[in-house]
Amino acid sequence: MKRALAVCLFAALAACVTVPRANPRDFSSLKEFEAGGLKLKLPSGFKRFAEGNAVMFRPEPPVRPSPGVEVVRDENLAPSMALGRAYDKISTKMGGFPVPIKAKIAGRDVNGLHDQLVTHFIWVYVIPGDKVVWTLEIAVPVEWTDDQAVSFHDMVLANVRLPE
């Protein structure tokens, strides 16, 4: 009886150890996701999580520290208001000092913010649409090299599609 229990425990432990974990730095296999009308291609190990009016994407099973992407869709909100809200979130809730940046997303010139926080690099972009604005937040652990962080950021931006 004890031997059978030991074999079962060993098998269960071996199964736990061999469960594959998502490698958040592996961008070779992308999967399409949707968030508030935006289409994104992210690493296939990512999973979609709805949190309030935000949709978040992060590795599943969880990996610490991990990158993440968040999309918030707002109806009838001016892009400058969305950017101000993002600035307030970074400066007050995250203790940062974001600087303005610009990027091209889905063929559109957009304004954004960038900061290096204690645990993550963060980029936030405001993408204006027709009577809608999307806020796209990209976070990458500070433990990643600059090349890895920028590669993830660039991969996300290159794979955002607006609704037609």
Residue 47 belongs to a domain = yes
Number of structural domains, the chain? 1
Residue 10 belongs to a domain = no
0.85 surpassed by pTM: no
Smallest CA-to-CA distance from 125 within 94, 149, 154, 148 is with: 154
The yes-or-no verdict on residue 18 having pLDDT over 50 is no
**pLDDT one-digit tens code per residue, 111-164:** 999 999 988 999 999 999 988 999 999 999 999 999 999 999 999 999 999 998
Q: What is the rounded CA–CA span in Å between residue 65 and residue 68? A: 10
What CATH number does the domain containing 143 carry? 3.40.1000.10
Task: Give the pLDDT confidence score for residue 13 in this predicted structure.
Answer: 44
Task: Give the pLDDT confidence score for residue 76 in this predicted structure.
Answer: 87
Task: Give the pLDDT confidence score for residue 61 in this predicted structure.
Answer: 78
**pLDDT one-digit tens code per residue, 33-45:** 999 999 999 999 9
Q: CA dihedral in degrees (128, 35, 119, 127; nearest 10)?
A: -10
Task: Give the pLDDT confidence score for residue 161 in this predicted structure.
Answer: 96
Higher-scoring residue by pLDDT: 69, 19: 69
**pLDDT one-digit tens code per residue, 29-76:** 899 999 999 999 999 999 999 988 899 999 987 777 889 999 999 998
Residue 81 near residue 88 (C-beta atoms within 8 A): no
Residue 148 belongs to a domain = yes
Q: What is the rounded CA–CA span in Å between residue 149 and residue 51? A: 24
Residue 79 near residue 130 (C-beta atoms within 8 A): no
Residue 53 belongs to a domain = yes
DSSP 44: T
Query: For residue 46, with 0-12 CB atoms within 10 Å meaning exposed, 13-18 middle and 19 or more buried, which class applies?
Result: buried
Who's near 83: CB < 8 A, 6+ residues apart?
A: 111, 112, 113, 124, 126
Residue 13 belongs to a domain = no
